[in-house]
Amino acid sequence: MNESAALRLASYNIQKCVGLDLRRQPRRVLQVLTRLGAQVVVLQEADKRLPPRPAALPHFVLEEAGWEVADLGGAGSLGWHGNAVIWRRGALHLRDMGHIDLPGLEPRGAVWVAFDSPLGPLRVVGLHLGLVGRYRRKQVLHLAQECARLPAMPMIWAGDFNEWSRRSALEGLAPAMRFLPPRASFPALRPLGPLDRIALSVGLGVAGHGVHLEQPAHIASDHLPVWADVVVEG
pLDDT tens, position by position, 70-91: 999 877 899 999 999 999 999 9
pTM: predicted TM-score of the whole model, two decimal places: 0.96
Contact 46, 79 (CB under 8 A): yes
The pLDDT score that the predictor gives to residue 71 is: 94
Residue 92 has pLDDT above 80, yes or no: yes
Beta bridge partners of 34: none
Contact 23, 64 (CB under 8 A): no
Contact 78, 61 (CB under 8 A): no
Helix (H) or strand (E) holding 117: strand 108-117
pLDDT in tens, 45-54: 999 877 778 9
Q: What integer is the mean pLDDT of 19-41?
A: 97
Residue 141, SS3 per DSSP? helix
Which residues are CB-contacts of 75 (< 8 A; sequence separation ≥ 6)? 52, 53, 54
Other C-beta atoms closer than 10 Å to the C-beta of 190 total 8
| Band of residue 135 on the pLDDT scale cut at 50, 70, 90 | very high
The pLDDT score that the predictor gives to residue 196 is: 98
